[in-house]
Structure 1
């Protein structure tokens, strides 16, 4: 009898344990079939600082030279927001660009091939992937659709599922440090599981037409119209929305434009803004796709004022997460800036440098933003600041221009000679003085073993790059010679833009060398840290120097 009682007790205990395990599983593990963003933010707030929100800013980049210059402004804003520690360590933002050639050649050298994005990076990284020619040809009559089509490539699908968030943007976007607060749910603007820029793309005629087209094609429309081009969504959702958008886009471009279409008899073949205009077809079809995909949960709360914030806004920068330089004449106007930059580049170098030196606005604005961030930290995260969105973009845009003209020494001028080398030359007085100081300070312990071959490694060396820690482009005629490069760069800059772009596109050496260095690093890791490699110091510097030149000419759209 006692044995039976013990057996029943054990059985009851087992059933209780099974029941507890069941409820724990139900409670902690959500349904994986949901397309909602499955970040548990309540857990993030209670976990350690090691918790990182991984976000990918994704875009396509056309070969249009103006677009390349705009991308460099986006890139600079992405780099700038890395200054806001510790938030920039809690929110890791990668930049992924699908570039139509030859725009890939004009990216910063820090952008790596997307194939290297196999695992989580510990630092924010820029990646690029060449946009398939097939995609470009497929949409050659409406290239804006490539900004959606790249989301359906296998390269995109293979790399983005590890991210918590996808921020899809256009190339004329700018990131605000407010984005870090937004993604951490520490911003006055609420973060939802899906968010879109809230700028309209038409009038009542447009809205009614889109609603009717959606109904005709069998799609649900929840009446949410003010959806601009920026999406902040779950990775899987970005693919699903893109798939619908492409499908609907083909229909609109083939069947919904021209005077033969009912209701458009009085409009030109490509329509007329703001009624019905072919130029924003990608926005029309994305609106239908988003309304259908999220029906009925999509509401006006998902139209975010923090995304697609207007570039001419005089509101505080901290109100915005993402800024869009739209087609608008107000300051900041990307078109007016383009005209002013063109005039600036025509000036003599000495005049440009003088104007740059007297323009304290640029650096003062960027310094003030850092200062405001420190105040926000001191005030327990209370968001406030006086720097406007407009001033932030203006400062970034001119700083980009100054840096790019400096990178290629635009308007090269001869430097005056000083003294006579190698006997006694005023130009190396700092070396003479430092030599005496170092010998005195470290006497008598200083020896020849402290003269390192890994430092001040000569730039023309044909030794493996991995032998050097620090490389010095000395005054020397051997390749790599900074003087010969300067002369070649001068001749390169004199060429017409189309010829420069053609030469750049045919120069596979530059990107091949930089890719090979990454490959050699992977091999060193596999070989337990054994240092070896075939890329030479000379080739490394040559590749970097030309990539810098290509990127700089792209950054200012040098014509």
Structure 2
């Protein structure tokens, strides 16, 4: 929210999904859509990450049809000034790293085949998706169905182990299968979507930043633990991604009274 305010975008709304108790804590200068948590089958309760895509499939999400395009992304992300000039024409995703080994890729393609879906060989798609609203919601809906299959059939008794075949990234597997099956023209934009928050690159060259798992600046884990609270915002070079993320995060902490 703070990064969107900072870049003063004239054509972007922030839409936040959450349960009623969570939305009551969210400032009113965004669009708030109430949704329930996924609870069927019971395996979904053991995988709360499913809610990051399940929310797009509920009737509450029909409000999204008022928009031409969606950027479906996680809460641990930032928009930069480059977002104001970023208008991809294809269905576009960021970069992922959930399938570093061929065995994982083979398992994903096996599941796709077992479910009767096409897989065109696109792997390691990012969590962030940009495209026409109808398409983003269709991908999300199919991904939820695939995730249910993975949780009940592939990971019901064994969670696997990262970075191999692993329950913890079920969302990523299911989104990959859904995109490969549904979308003909897909762009993986490693430069503009899901860029690492530890980068020293210019914010003018990357539109969207994602906090990967790291303890280096900027780290969402270190921020949540209060490790940056003593730092001075005036000492930061906010033209650099890592300092920009830190600046925006510290500013948000000042502005939002939880």
Fold match (TM-score > 0.5):
yes
Q: Is the 8 A contact 1:197 1:303 kept in 2?
A: yes
Give the Cα separation in 1 of the matches to 2:199 and 2:2: 20
How far off is 1:221 after superposition? 0.5
Greater fraction of residues in strand: 2
How far off is 1:258 after superposition? 5.7
The corresponding residue for 1:221 is: 119
Q: Which residues of 2 match residues 13-412 of structure 1 at below 5 A?
A: 75-82=1-8, 88-89=9-10, 92-108=11-27, 110-111=28-29, 126-132=30-36, 135-138=37-40, 139-157=44-62, 159-183=63-87, 191-203=88-100, 204-257=102-155, 269-295=158-184, 297-298=185-186, 301-341=187-227, 344=229, 359-362=233-236, 365-366=237-238, 387-401=239-253, 403-404=254-255
Identify the structure with bigger relative contact order (alpha carbons < 8 Å, sequence gap 6+): 2
Q: Is there any run of 5+ residues in structure 2 with no aligned partner, and where?
A: none
Give the Cα separation in 1 of the matches to 2:55 and 2:175: 14
Q: Is there any run of 5+ residues in structure 1 with no aligned partner, and where?
A: 1-74, 83-87, 112-125, 184-190, 260-268, 345-354, 367-386, 405-550, 554-559
The alignment partner of 2:12 has SS state of strand
How far off is 1:180 after superposition? 0.9
- Using the size of structure 1 for normalisation, the TM-score is 0.43
Which stretches of structure 1, 4 residues or longer, exceed 4 Å deviation after superposition?
none
Q: Which residues of 2 match residues 449-528 of structure 1 at below 5 A?
A: none
Give the Cα separation in 2 of the matches to 1:163 and 1:193: 17
Q: Is the 8 A contact 1:307 1:322 kept in 2?
A: yes
How far off is 1:321 after superposition? 1.1
Relative to structure 1, is the Cα distance of residues 277 and 94 closer, same or farther in structure 2, using a 3 angstrom cutoff? same
Relative to structure 1, is the Cα distance of residues 302 and 218 closer, same or farther in structure 2, using a 3 angstrom cutoff? same
Relative to structure 1, is the Cα distance of residues 330 and 202 closer, same or farther in structure 2, using a 3 angstrom cutoff? farther
Give the Cα separation in 2 of the matches to 1:226 and 1:303: 12
The alignment partner of 2:98 has SS state of coil
Q: Is the 8 A contact 1:192 1:302 kept in 2?
A: no
Q: Is the 8 A contact 2:193 2:208 kept in 1?
A: yes
The alignment partner of 1:195 has SS state of strand
Give the Cα separation in 1 of the matches to 2:224 and 2:61: 32
Give the Cα separation in 1 of the matches to 2:188 and 2:91: 6
- Which of 1 and 2 has greater Rg? 1
Q: Is the 8 A contact 1:164 1:234 kept in 2?
A: yes
Deviations 1:82-130 (A, max 9, x none): 1xxxxx33xx10111111242112111x33xxxxxxxxxxxxxx11022
Deviations 1:243-302 (A, max 9, x none): 21111111100001266xxxxxxxxx211111011111011000000000014x44xx43
Deviations 1:168-227 (A, max 9, x none): 0111111111111112xxxxxxx2321001122122221111011111111101111020
Give the Cα separation in 2 of the matches to 1:98 and 1:360: 33
- Using the size of structure 2 for normalisation, the TM-score is 0.91
Computed over aligned residues only, the root mean square deviation of the Cα atoms, in angstroms, reads 2.0
Give the Cα separation in 1 of the matches to 2:64 and 2:226: 38
Deviations 1:3-29 (A, max 9, x none): xxxxxxxxxxxxxxxxxxxxxxxxxxx
Greater fraction of residues in helix: 1
Q: Is the 8 A contact 1:173 1:325 kept in 2?
A: yes
